[in-house]
Structure 1
Amino acid sequence: MRFLSQGIGWIVRSIVYLVFGTLLVAALIATATAAHVWYFARQDNHDHANTIFVLGAAQYDGRPSEWLAARLQHAADLYEEGVAPTIVTVGGKREGDRFTEAQAGKDYLVNTLDVPSSAVVEVNEGVDTLTSAEAFATMARDNGWTSAVVVTDPAHSLRATRMVQDQGIIAWGSPTRQGPSVATRSAQFNSILHETGGMLYYEVIERERPGLRINAGSAEPVINALRSSTPW
């Protein structure tokens, strides 16, 4: 009976240690990912590229939301600076919409920000960041584009850029510094929390899908750490 009690106690302690260790590793990974999201959000690379790739956001009957307008303004500034000769807008539409996010983006660039129509290419596909990156990569390969400056909100910059890189495109980020996503400290903090979860989900779940052109080594430490902490 004594040996049985000792055995049960050892099993219980082992389970407690295993659960605690797993939670500790998960917390460390989440913290490291949040720090990476925050650090990348502060990077702004204006190196020359083939294209300026603008991630879509909400539009209202052809009128860009504040989030999308801020991204488009930054893309126009990069174009005027000579960073790239072409701006690519991306994004599909919801059921009942008359315009896609890509169309609304191009119209705003041309009619409001005075970017030449010939310099803007719209890709009317994409319902989220990953499908938008995939649609852009298809267009890039068709046009011989090999590099892109990714324009989006600061906290979103890491995940968006990583997804473009994983499609085989050389990419770096130049996020907007205006708009609702950076208007307050609270908005910035909430964006980092949201993107930390999104980044972990992409690295562990979505990035494992077949067909992605993975940029080797960019996320393996995170994935391997998660796997090593899982007891099955």
Structure 2
Amino acid sequence: MLKYRIKKPRLVLMALSLVSALFLAIASIASSIYFYGNNHTHIQADAAIILGAAVWGEKPSPVFRERINHAINLYKNGYVRTLIFTGGVGSGDELAEAVVGKRYAVNKGVKAADIFMETTSRTTHQNLQNASELAAAYALKKVLIVSDPLHLKRAVLMARNLGLDAQPSPTPTTRYQSLNSQLPFLMRETYFYFVYLLFKI
């Protein structure tokens, strides 16, 4: 009985220590994701890879539109010479995200010849895998990854693991600005970041 009484508190302490360590790890990752996306660097690159997002019919959703607008600004201000749109056909959609993105960019003055796209991906990793193949095919060495700030730490890590010389380029006009909108996004990204570290998917 005495041995049991001694071991039980130790097990409780060990469990509490593990929970505390896990909590600190999650908090650390979440914090790094948040601050990583707030680094606005202005560097030149061969191309901007615009990560796909939802489309509404033939128009980009507000989230996707702001990603495209940011990429267009990079292009028009001479930071990149090429845009790579990613994203396939979502559930219930008729057009691929990349097709909608390209049409929007062309209507805003981007030359069609300066746009590449892939239309089969459904996830961030697939976006970047397909984009990396396009970049290799057209000798595009350095790229900017364009997405919402909270999405970028995971996306850039994926891009670099795929062999891309990638830098983040967060959308300054992201719709995820209020605490109510940022918190769910941050929690989701923290979870997927852990999943990627474990399984590389």
TM-score above 0.5: yes
Quick check: 136-145 or 48-57, which moved more?
A: 136-145
Unmatched 5+ residue regions in structure 2?
none
User: Per-residue deviation at 1:45?
Assistant: 1.9
Cα deviation, 1:136-187, whole Å, max 9, x if unaligned, reads 11222222222210100111111111111110101111111214222x2321
- Asked whether the 8 Å contact 1:62–1:100 carries over to 2, the reply is no
Q: Provide the secondary structure at the position in 1 that maps to 2:183.
A: helix
Which amino acid counterpart does residue 163 of structure 1 have in structure 2? M
Instruction: Find the aligned partners of 1:114 and 1:101 in 2 and give their Cα distance.
Output: 19
Q: Is 1:40 paired with 2:36?
A: yes
Cα deviation, 1:54-89, whole Å, max 9, x if unaligned, reads 000001222100000000000000011111110000
Structure 1 counterpart of 2:165: 170
Structure 2 counterpart of 1:220: none
Structure 2 counterpart of 1:226: none
| 1:104 counterpart (92, 100, 103) | 100
Correspondence 1:190-205 to 2 at 5 A: 190-204=184-198
Which amino acid counterpart does residue 198 of structure 1 have in structure 2? F
Correspondence 1:101-140 to 2 at 5 A: 101-111=97-107, 113-140=108-135
* Residues 96 and 187 of structure 1: CA distance in aligned 2, closer, same or farther (over 3 Å): closer
Q: Provide the secondary structure at the position in 1 that maps to 2:75.
A: helix
| 2:5 counterpart (5, 9, 14) | 9
Q: Is 1:72 paired with 2:65?
A: no
Instruction: Find the aligned partners of 1:46 and 1:134 in 2 and give their Cα distance.
Output: 24
Correspondence 1:55-94 to 2 at 5 A: 55-94=51-90
Which amino acid counterpart does residue 55 of structure 2 have in structure 1? Q
Instruction: Find the aligned partners of 1:56 and 1:40 in 2 and give their Cα distance.
Output: 20
Q: Is 1:22 paired with 2:50?
A: no
Instruction: Find the aligned partners of 2:25 and 2:84 in 1 and give their Cα distance.
Output: 34
Q: Provide the secondary structure at the position in 1 that maps to 2:39.
A: coil
**What TM-score results when the alignment is normalised by the length of structure 2?**
0.93
Instruction: Find the aligned partners of 1:131 and 1:15 in 2 and give their Cα distance.
Output: 43
Correspondence 1:151-190 to 2 at 5 A: 151-182=146-177, 184-190=178-184
Q: How many correspondences in the alignment?
A: 201
Considering only aligned residues, what root-mean-square deviation do their CA atoms show, in Å? 1.5
- Asked whether the 8 Å contact 2:54–2:90 carries over to 1, the reply is no
Which amino acid counterpart does residue 172 of structure 2 have in structure 1? R
- Asked whether the 8 Å contact 2:149–2:174 carries over to 1, the reply is no
**What TM-score results when the alignment is normalised by the length of structure 1?**
0.82
Structure 2 counterpart of 1:143: 138
Structure 2 counterpart of 1:216: none
Instruction: Find the aligned partners of 2:186 and 2:34 in 1 and give their Cα distance.
Output: 7
Instruction: Find the aligned partners of 1:22 and 1:185 in 2 and give their Cα distance.
Output: 29
Structure 2 counterpart of 1:222: none
